[in-house]
Amino acid sequence: MFFSKSDESKDKVINEVLSNDSFNNLNLDLINLDLKVETGDKFEVHFYGPEDEKPSVELKDDTLQIKEPKLDHQHGKFWRKGFVEVNIVSQSDNGNLIVTVPEGHHLSAIKVSSVSGDTNFKSLSLDSLAISVVSGDVSLRTVQTDEVKLTTTSGDIGLKEVTVKQGKAQLVSGDFTLKNSLVLDKFKVSTTSGDNLVEDVKAAQYQLSTLSGDNSLFGKIKQLPKEIVQIMLALLF
């Protein structure tokens, strides 16, 4: 017998600007929402997605705090037969959050905590950036920051055209990529089973370590399964 299709989530989908407040610090506590932080014409927090995923936004002093509500259900398609239920939740079922910062505005600090959403930063200048995700991907492009700390369990981390003084990335099963970038001091990357790729990067010092993946530095691959590979270089530029 076939499963009978249950009612799909009938939550209202909204397209709404949540805030136009200016800020210098940004804290985000997210679950499933995909996040984009980028430059634009003005300060703006824009949300598109199911109404019950609409995050709260609060300005305290100079810090904008954004928090996604915890739900007791997921959006998507559901089939049920007796006591057996099949749930299919795709990336398109997640809401989207876009935070815009005026071009030329320098931020102090951004902290992001997320579970399964993707996180994208583009064309930003700030003092420090900390991102911690479980299964989402992290992407940074044309970002300038003194300090960056990136952590993920099963997602990938990709950096392109970034300028950073000090950086640290920790991954379990995801891949790390750093391309066309400048590291003024040092950058440390550690993975368990993912690959590390560094191309066209000027750096004073960096360290790559992986347990079962590959370390590719300017096209040269160091592969030692079940052993830690460490590469430490001092490059003049």
pLDDT band for position 235 (cuts 50, 70, 90): very low
Distance CA 19, CA 186 (A): 36
CA–CA separation, 52 vs 212, rounded Å?
41
Which residues lie below 8 Å from residue 226, measured CB to CB, with a gap of 6+? 211, 212
Query: CB of 33 within 8 A of CB of 84?
Result: no
Cβ–Cβ contacts within 10 Å for residue 218, how many? 10
C-beta of residue 167 within 8 angstroms of C-beta of residue 188 = yes
Each residue's pLDDT tens digit, 23-76: 999 999 999 999 999 999 999 999 999 999 999 999 999 999 999 999 876 665
Q: Which CATH number fits domain 12-71+79-129: 1.20.120.1200, 3.30.930.10, 3.30.70.3460, 2.160.20.120?
A: 2.160.20.120
Task: Please name the amino acid found at residue 57.
Answer: V
Cα separations (Å) of 132 from 83, 119, 206?
A: 36, 10, 21
Confidence (pLDDT) at 142: 98
Asked if 194 and 214 count as a contact pair (C-beta separation under 8 A), the reply is no
What does the domain layout of the chain look like in residue ranges? 12-71+79-129, 137-237
For the whole model, what pTM was predicted? Answer: 0.82
Q: Span 153-181, mean pLDDT? A: 96
